[in-house]
Amino acid sequence: MKRKVLVTLNLTKDCLDRLAGECEIDVNAHDRPMDRNVFLERIAGKDGLLPSITDKVDAEAMERAPSLKMIANFGVGFNNIDVTAATARGIPVSNTPGVLTDATADVAFALILAVNRRVVEGDRMVREGRFLFWAPFHFLGSEVSGKVLGIVGMGRIGQAVARRARGFDMPILYSGRTRLAPADEAALGASFRPFPDLLAEADIVSLHVPLTPETHHLIDREALGRMKPSAVLINTARGPVVDEKALVAAIRAGTIAGAGLDVYEDEPCLAPGLVELENVVLLPHVGSGTWETRTKMADMAVTNLLAGLRGERPPNLVNPEVWK
Ligand code: NAP
C-alpha cells in the first residue's frame, strides 16, 4: 500500500510526480499557508509530511498522525518544527541546507546596499514626483565600500555574505558560537569578536543565526544600545532574533541609523510604527525566493521525504540521534 503524504505547499509538477510515483499525496495547491485547523485535520493518518516554514509542526500535530515516519521541511531553518517532540517519537526531520545560501546572501547584500544608499526611499521620491533637482549635498546616503561589516553567525549564509563583502573592501568581523579555523578566517578575511565588541565596532550588523531559545531576542534594547548611532541592522535570519518593538524604538530615537529586514517577529504582521520609518527597507521574506533556488529546495525536500519513507537515511537529517 502507498504511503500517505501531506504536502502543505505548492510544489513543481516534477516534484509532485516524483512523490505520486511512490505515495498517495494530499497537496495544498494554493499559494497560501494552510489554516491551522485544516492542517491538523489533514495531517491525520499521514505517514509523511512536507511542511512549509510557516506550519507549526508541534507535538499536537504529531499526535494527530501516530503513523508519521518522516518530516521533510521546505527550508533550512527548522524552528517551526518541535524537533525534540519528533525525536522522542523516533521521527526523522530534514531541512534544505546549502541550495539557498547564495540567494539569501544576495538578499542580505541587497538590503545592505538599499538601506545605506536609500534605494527604496529614492524610488518612492522619483515615483511621487518629488525628484525636482540635483544638488551636491541633497539626499545623501552612507558609503558601503570600506565600511566594517559585522556578521553574527558565520555559517553557510554568513560566509557567503562575507565573500560578497570582500568585493566591497569591507573589513569583516564575526561573532558566533563556534570560531572558524584560522585558515578559514584568513580565506574570508574575517576576524572574530565577542558579540558585544562586534556590535560596538560594526557599521553594518548582519544576522545569520538560526532561531533557537538562545538566539531569541539576541538583538534587544541593550544590544541595539551598544551599536553605533550611524550603524544599520540587517536581518535575513528569523524575525524573533530581533526584538522588533525595541528596534522601532531604537530607530525612532536615533540609537541606530536604520534597518533592512526580510523577516519579522510575528510574520506577516509588523511591529507598530515600523512601516512609518523611512530609513528601513522591508522585504516579504524572500531570502531564498528565486525560481532556481526554490526549485532546488523542493527537489531536496522530496528526496529527503522519499528516503525517510523508504526507511533510508534522509540526506539532510537534522536529528541524527533517531538513526542509531
Ligand atoms: P548554518 O550554516 O547552520 O549557520 C548558522 C550559524 O549560526 C552557525 O555558524 C552557527 O554556529 C551559528 N549559531 C547557531 N546558534 C548560535 C548561537 N546561539 N549563538 C551564536 N551563533 C550561533 O545555517 P545557514 O544555512 O547559514 O542559515 C542560517 C539561518 O538563516 C537559518 O537557520 C534560517 O533561519 C535563516 N534563513 C533565512 C532565509 C530567508 O528567507 N530569509 C533563507 C535561508 C535561511 P555553529 O557552527 O556553532 O552551529
Q: How many CB atoms lie within 10 A of CB 97?
A: 18
Angle between helices 101-116 and 156-166 (to 10 degrees): 50
Please classify residue 177 by burial: count the beta carbons closer than 10 Å to its beta carbon, then call 0-12 exposed, 13-18 middle and 19+ buried.
Answer: exposed
Compute, in angstroms, the gap from residue 127 CA to the centroid of ligand 1. 37
Ligand 1: centre distance to CA 208 (Å): 5
Q: What is the DSSP string of 167-182?
A: TTT--EEEE-SSPPPH
Instruction: Tell me the per-residue pLDDT of 220-274, one tens digit each, with 9 for 90 and over.
Output: 999 999 999 999 999 999 999 999 999 999 999 999 999 999 999 999 999 999 9
Provide residues with CB under 6 Å of ligand 1: 76-77, 97, 100-101, 104, 153-158, 176-178, 208-212, 214-215, 236-238, 262-263, 285, 287-288
**Residue 263: all three cell numbers together:** 523577516
Supply the pLDDT for residue 217: 98
Ligand 1 mean position to 219 CA, how many Å?
A: 15
The predicted-structure confidence for 139-190, as pLDDT tens digits, reads as follows 999 999 999 999 999 999 999 999 999 999 999 999 999 999 999 999 999 9
Q: Which residues are 6's β-sheet partners?
A: 26, 49
Q: What is the pLDDT of residues 90-149, one digit of tens each?
A: 999 999 999 999 999 999 999 999 999 999 999 999 999 999 999 999 999 999 999 999
* Domains of the chain as residue ranges with CATH: 3-98+291-322 (3.40.50.720), 101-282 (3.40.50.720)
For helices 291-310 and 101-116, the axis angle rounded to 10 degrees is 150
Which one-letter amino acid corresponds to residue 46? K
Task: Give the three-state DSSP class for 61.
Answer: helix
What pTM did the predictor assign?
0.98
Whole-number pLDDT of residue 30 = 86
